[in-house]
Amino acid sequence: MSTPQLLISGILFLAMVSFVWGKWRYDLVAMFALMACVVAGLVEADAAFAGFGHPAVVTVAAVLIISSALRDAGVVDEVASRISHLTTSPILHIASLTAVVTVASAFMNNVGALALLLPIAMSTAQERKRSPGLILMPLAFGSLLGGMMTLIGTPPNIIIASIRADYAGEPFGMFDFAPVGLPIAVVGFAFVTLLGWRLIPRARLEFKDDGSALSSGVYLTEASVPASSALVGKTLGDLDGFGEDNIEVIGVAGKRRFARAVRADYPIAEEDILILRANPDDLKSFMDKHKLELRSTASPTFIQPSPDNEIMAEGVVRNDSQLVGKGVEHIRRQTGRTLALVGLARHGRPVTQRLRQQIFREGDVLLLHGDSDSVDGQFGILGLWPLMRRPINLNRTRKIALASGIFFAAILLGISGFVSLPVAFILAVGAYVLTGILTARKIYDDIDWPVIVLLAAMIPVGNALTTTGTTQLVAQSLISATEGLSIPIILSLLLIVTMLLSDVINNAATALVMAPLGIAMAEALNVNVDPFLMAVAVGASCAFLTPIGHQCNTLVMGPGGYKFSDYWRVGLPLEIIIVIISVPTILWAWPL
């Protein structure tokens, strides 16, 4: 290997290790990798930031904004609310919601589609007395399957299309992914609906009738005992009747003391702080009944909302949230002390430390107290997906029709060739602003900036792999190692490696790394590159083995009460099925 090849291989290897390690955010890792390439002379300084103007980056940003507009207009929520009656049996329940999220994910960001369906899944699960764990993993997997069907369904498809444009002069079209993605989505949907959910551990499928809208999230909360409370002087043993309120006392703390477990004969004193396991629906009635004061992490400078605007809202910590690794003080600073933590549930299990001691993790479910007028914006700032229904807008029907019309007009403009898809989507964003569906400020709030930086930084790094001849060298080595094997088997190996990589690092980064390798392998075999690019596109979207491979998997981990090991139980057979289906389908749709 030449010196440039050794340098780019070392930089990329360290970047991959950092992606898997997860100590630093993936956008920072990508930018450091890019700077290392510039310093090493592998990327020209003038071209270092060309990725920010790349069509793939512009398209991903525009799709994220459009997804937000469709979400705020209530397009998917309207469809989902109309099928809530199709939940009479477990299979119908899973099938109806998963079908909506699968179709929606083909035309909007799959994380956004899942976030819309999540509150509906939670409320219908409670209504039907079913565990959220029964529904949420199929829902997350459905969102990933749906994204494979179209160009805009998932960032890897957009990246693969742009790489093909750079290589062959023409990108994949809007529906060029459908001949492969549609059969995968249909068979995958049938698997998770009929069989996949049965592979989830039984403990996650048991319904816990605690009366909560988030039945997997039994929260740690705190309540102080004022002098006026009838509980003063009573013992914990006298509180057996609290069970009817779905409240459990797990400990007591003094005003300045840590929480501690106490025996049943402990007498409750004035200013004691009761550490409770509770659900949000019962908190208010419980506090009123016993004249207790709900405590939060609010500081003395907390800005109390007006009684008419008070709200307790639930949200899931996204894996890219700024709260990950931070404590309650970060919430205070970022929200101007207008939002306070009231309860926390972690991966379906209540935590036992006091709220002010908590360090947040991805997938945590937070119960927050604040002002209903500002809570949506604060959730966006903090990186939380809301687990609540949005208020119905009086202009909802008009907004749904207008938002849908603008979106489909943009798609028609793009596929007709009148303008390129990136331009068509930017025009759609402009139309959303002009019609009031989106505000100018919200445009920037809804862009997933870490993903944008990741793409923009990794595109020049990926180009360096090609310009140094590294991809060709690796491809020739792989072809030599697989000499004598048929091309379908080689294609299968490329697909499997891409799948495994996507399970541990961001799927966009996976596509950027594996696509040039796929092209080089096709050239070494002297065959059409399209089947190899399609294999990479499919593999990069198949992050079914872990909760960290994709945001959708992380998003349902807490509300579903899943453990890390639960994902491969369903994901492994699904990925095997996808390999079996996709290779012959790819070769049929894109002949060698």
Beta bridge partners of 248: 277
Provide the pLDDT for residue 39: 92
Percentage of the chain beyond pLDDT 70 is 83
Do the first three CATH levels of 219-295 and 310-386 match, i.e. the same topology? Answer: yes
Higher per-residue pLDDT: 580 or 483: 580
| pLDDT score of 148 more than 60 | yes
Q: Is 251 or 133 the better-scoring residue by pLDDT?
A: 133
Q: Is 390 helix (H, G, I), strand (E, B) or coil?
A: coil
- Computed over every residue of the chain, the mean pLDDT equals 79
| Of 131, 134, 130, nearest in space to 95 by CA | 134
Is 42 a residue whose pLDDT tops 80?
A: yes
Q: Three-state secondary structure along 451-470?
A: HHHHHHHHHHHHHHHHHCCH
Strand ranges (E), 347-434: 349-350, 365-371, 384-386
Provide mean pLDDT across the span 22-27. Answer: 77
Identify residue 425 by its one-letter amino acid code: F
Q: Report residue 487 as tokens.
A: 């091309």
Comparing 83-87, 124-128, 325-329, 389-393, the range with the smallest average pLDDT is 389-393
- Of the ranges 223-227, 480-484, 496-500, which is most confident? 496-500
Average pLDDT over residues 520-537: 91
Q: How far apart are CA 547 and CA 561, in angstroms?
A: 12
Dihedral sign computed on CA atoms, order 51, 56, 59, 60: negative
Nearest one of 65, 123, 68, 66 to 93, comparing CA atoms: 123
Instruction: Give the gyration radius of the chain's Cα atoms.
Output: 26
- Residue 234 in this model has a pLDDT that exceeds 50: yes
**Amino acid (one-letter) located at 362:** E
**355-379: per-residue pLDDT in tens?**
777 788 877 888 787 777 777 778 8
User: Which comes out higher in pLDDT, residue 278 or 53?
Assistant: 53
Lowest-pLDDT range of 162-166, 257-261, 425-429:
257-261
Q: What is the CATH number of domain 310-386?
A: 3.30.70.1450
**Residue 217 predicted with pLDDT over 50:** no
| Token couple for 457 | 């930084």
CA 94/CA 98 separation, integer angstroms: 6
Contacts of 554 (CB under 8 A, 6+ apart): 318, 319, 362, 363, 547, 548
- Calculate mean pLDDT across residues 517-525: 88
The answer to whether residue 261 scores a pLDDT higher than 90 is: no
pLDDT value for 347: 61
Beta strand 365-371 with 310-317 is antiparallel
Strands 273-278 vs 349-350: parallel, antiparallel or unpaired: unpaired
- In total, the chain counts a number of residues equal to 592
Delimit the domains of the chain by residue range: 3-206+446-589, 219-295, 310-386
Q: Which CATH number fits domain 219-295: 3.40.50.1980, 3.30.1360.120, 3.30.70.1450, 3.60.120.10?
A: 3.30.70.1450
- Which of 71-75, 112-116, 296-300, 559-563 is predicted with the least confidence, judged by mean pLDDT? 296-300
